Chains A and B, each alone.
Chain A
Amino acid sequence: MNCAEIHHLLQPYADRELDLVHSLDVERHVKTCAACAAAINSLRSLHSALRDSDLTYHAPDSLRKIVRRMARASGEEIQSRSSNFQWLWKWLAAGATAFAVLTIILRPSGLSGHDQLLNDVVASHVRSLMVGHLTDVASSDEHTVRPWFDGKLDFAPDVTDFAAQGFPLVGGRLDYLNDHAVAALVYRHNKHFINVFVWPSPNGARIEKRENNLITSRAEEIEHFHGYNVITSSVGGFHYCLVSDLEEKELNQLAGLIGK
Chain B
Amino acid sequence: MPHLDAAYNLARWLAGDDHDAEDIVQEACVRAFRFGGGFRGGNSRSWLLAIVRNTACSWLKKNRPQAIVSVDDDEVAQMEDPGQPAAAFDRADAGVLRAALEELPLEFREALVLRELDGLSYKEIAEVADVPVGTVMSRLARARRQLQSYLNRKGGV
Contacts and interface: CB of A to CB of B under 8 A. Distances in A.
Q: Tell me the interface secondary structure of chain A in the complex.
A: helix
B106 interface: no
B86 A38 contact: yes
B88 A41 contact: yes
B56 interface: no
Given A39-B80, A50-B117, A67-B26, A15 B88 contact: no
Interface of A: 3, 7-8, 10-12, 15, 17, 33, 35-36, 38-39, 41-43, 45-51, 53-60, 62-64, 66-68, 70-71, 74
A35 B85 CA distance: 8
Size range of the interface on B? 35 or more
A73 B140 CA distance: 39
Contact of A46 (B9, B21, B89): B89
B148 A60 contact: no
B94 A53 contact: yes
Contacts of A64: 1, 4
Given A39-B80, A51-B116, A71-B33, A59 B8 contact: yes
Interface string B89-105: 11010100110010000
Interface of B: 1, 4-5, 7-9, 12-13, 18, 21-22, 25-26, 29-30, 33-34, 36, 79-80, 82-83, 85-90, 92, 94, 97-98, 101, 112, 115-118, 121-122, 137, 140-141, 144, 147-148
Nearest to A71: B1
25 contacts: A8-B79, A10-B79, A11-B144, A15-B122, A35-B83, A39-B82, A39-B86, A42-B89, A46-B87, A47-B116, A50-B97, A51-B116, A55-B117, A56-B9, A56-B117, A57-B21, A59-B7, A59-B25, A60-B18, A63-B22, A63-B25, A68-B1, A70-B26, A71-B33, A74-B33
